[in-house]
Structure 1
């Protein structure tokens, strides 16, 4: 199984290094911050996509057939 071009051993190594750097007490905080950041990014991306779609729809309706 490959995820972002990385196999299971590479992912485990990365997780171990992150655990050593941040420690077990800070991992929940780090995960929460990462989750909130991804949620905000998705919301802004969806918002921008909706704005562009609305603008495209308005242009299509404004053009004479």
Structure 2
């Protein structure tokens, strides 16, 4: 059961979709729906990847050690 829908409800929905769009347009509708889902998944994965790369850049920036050269300037005078 998907969202409380049983087999009879899904059959009724399928018949209504078939009547509205017709048998010739169903493959086009399925293909466009599949492309939409694929693009949505790829977009979600790329968002997760960009967050991971931002975190790694932040860690790299925190690992940098700052050297204070002010003491060496005093010795030169």
Q: State the TM-score, normalized to the length of structure 1.
A: 0.80
CA distances 1:4-61 after superposition (whole Å, capped 9, x unpaired): 2211111111111000000000000000110111111111111001111222333345
Specify every segment of 5 or more residues in structure 2 that has no aligned partner in the other structure, as ranges. 64-77
Q: Where does residue 44 of structure 2 map in the other structure? A: 45
**How many residues in Structure 1 have an aligned counterpart in Structure 2?**
63
Q: Where does residue 26 of structure 2 map in the other structure? A: 27
Larger radius of gyration: 2
The CA RMSD over aligned residues, in Å, is 1.5
- The higher relative CO (CA closer than 8 Å, separation ≥ 6) is in 1
Q: Where does residue 13 of structure 2 map in the other structure? A: 14
- Of residues 20-29 and 53-62 in structure 1, the stretch that sits farther from structure 2 once superposed is 53-62
Specify every segment of 5 or more residues in structure 1 that has no aligned partner in the other structure, as ranges. none
After TM superposition, list the pairs within 5 Å mapping 1:48-59 onto structure 2.
48-59=47-58
